[in-house]
Amino acid sequence: MSFTAADVPGQTGRTILVTGANTGIGLEAAKVLAAKGARVLLGCRDAARAQAAMERIKAATPGADLAYVALDQADIASIRRAAGQVAAEPRLDVLLNNAGVMIPPLSRTAQGAESQFGVNHLGSFALTALLLPKLAQTADARVVVTASLAHRQGRMMWDNLHAEKGYNSGRFYAQSKLANLLFMLELDRRLRAAGSPVKAIGCHPGVSLTELMRHLPSWTQSLLPLARPLFNPVAAAAWPALQAATDPQAQGGDYFGPQGIWEMRGASGKARIEKHALDRGDARRLWDLSVELTGIDPGLPEA
């Protein structure tokens, strides 16, 4: 099946938290979900940018049911506060983990992790863990984890997770996206073993020109317009996330991405997971390490 925004079923009565919803793929997903009737919580760092995003959504969908959630995934304290706010909602149907950073200069989270591993993986892990009890109260609740084609080049650098022994922005980005898939699949296994009603589902957007690419070298950015025909328009890049969040046929452990050339663009459907992302030993090791580094335990037994 090829899935687009037109295939998103009605979402009236559902509440969906979209992280990183003020721009790019997160904003596009929020627009569609609001238009379909969902209450959309926009998890963003900056209140002004979140407000601007909500105004754009309301311009397209007057009367859209929206709320801002202050969320900085580079700070566990902020994640805890955001989770508390969301847990006070009457219900939560979907956590769409979309927020992320891509190939920035070396920086660290408030807790000292390398920023890409910290924001892209540890932040999503912590927010998911804190919201699992709320999600479990709702039928067909879902955790969506956004990975990337870059997971194929990713390797877990267990002896250099925090970049004390050197930093290459591309390698650390690929590692963080591999971590996203290892986490999603391990979460799915543990949820099933625990008999939880919550599904863990993954997605990737293909290749799209979004704000994430702002850290690319200037010479690379100058060449991007030439490759534009291969890239996914931002609205289409949100289709895999929308499929993961809303497709009635989606199952726990599914992974969605564009179906066009090299999974770079096109309508969404089942995507390919690289073999090393299926390594259960790495997934368990990452899970235990994530509990240690965040101080937050999802409380799910090993599957």
**Sign (positive or negative) of CA dihedral 114, 118, 119, 121:** positive
Beta pairing, strands 199-203 & 142-146:
parallel
Q: Which of 68, 167, 173, 255 is flagged as catalytic?
A: 173
Residue 68 annotated to the active site: no
CB of 268 closer than 8 Å to CB of 239:
yes
Catalytic center residues: 173
